[in-house]
Amino acid sequence: MPCTVITGGFWGDEGKGKIISYLALKDRLDVCVRTGSVNAAHTVWYLGKRYALHMVPAAFVNEKCRLLIGTGANIHVAQFLEEVEETKVENRIGIDYQASIIEEKHSIQDKTNAHLKGVVGTTGRGVGPAIEERVRRSAKLAKNIPELQPYLADVAKEVNNAIDNDKEVLLEGTQGLMLSLFYGTPPYVTGRDTGASAICSEAGVGPTKVDDVLVVFKAFMTRVGAGPLPGELSKEEAIKRKWFEVAAGTGRERRSAPFSFEIAKKAVVINSATQAAVTKLDIMYPQCKSVRSYEELPEEAKQFVAKIEKETEVPVVLIGTGPGALDIIDRRK
């Protein structure tokens, strides 16, 4: 049952899109299921082009991969159709017929709710109000939307059949554990759980069918919006270290801080992670840029990776050394 779950270990922005796109190409994925909602974008650099995807799975780079959006997801119809056109995946993408819909009214509610916008720091994409309506059992579902009829699928059935037939399956999580409604830093959290268990639930896959949980860390931490960020640096210091970033999907500035081993350990435990990936090692150590062999890394970078492994007690199997999908050191056996 070759099924892997990809989850974020910090506050999102860890580089999950890069890791997923690499695995899609390297492991020749058969099926990739995206969970979550439109408030999180995965950045993929492929063939010299940058994609910031809110709906389409990052595994689209593999032209033979079946792309699915799980029943637990929330669909922004216009965003979905726009990305389908951009990525040219019309004939191989499906949406679960019971996925819920984000309407324009939800975005308006998000932007005008003083608590969500001013205190929590929501993206304003309407995700929270859409989830609230779903809990009230009054949300529109994908099966009710004419424009989505060509894409409807029974995702749980399809993905479980794929796993049972030894297909290569990846479940794509969004955001990061520290934005989880349950395990993050309330009230500065998203409207759903973001851990591996929730990813499985949203995709319709039970825990006994998962082989690996790969938690993705960035070599330093970033966070958008309000809420605590241990060790937070000033914007000036972040710029000096080249850690200053702007969110791919929303354009919001990211706050920066050094890697937290305590948070990393928490992420590994709650996600039951079996493996880890570390991205942007080349930003921490510029001499790592585009390196494809672990042996070629400078000693300081190796020590950093070794400390992550020692503190979290899981192997770091993938190391990002550049923005491209294939700028990866692959340490898997």
Q: What is the pLDDT of residue 80?
A: 97
**Dihedral sign of CA atoms 247, 107, 54, 320 in order:** positive
Give yes or no: 76 in active site.
no
What pLDDT does 3 receive? 97
pTM score? 0.93
- What is the distance between the alpha carbons of residues 74 and 127, in angstroms, rounded to a whole number? 7
Do 118 and 72 touch, CB atoms closer than 8 A? no
30, 42, 54, 282: the active-site residue: 42
Residue 42 annotated in active site = yes
Give CA–CA dist 317/165, Å, rounded: 26
Residue owning tokens 């819920």: 100
Average pLDDT for runs of 10 along the chain of length 333: 92 94 96 90 89 95 97 95 97 98 87 63 77 92 97 98 97 96 94 96 97 98 93 95 81 92 98 98 95 96 98 98 93 90
Rg (CA), the chain: 19
* Catalytic residue chosen out of the listed positions 13, 30, 282, 327: 13
Which of 283, 293, 275 lies closest to 322 in space, CA to CA?
283
Please name each of the domains of the chain with its CATH number: 3-330 (3.40.440.10)
Model pLDDT, residue 110: 76
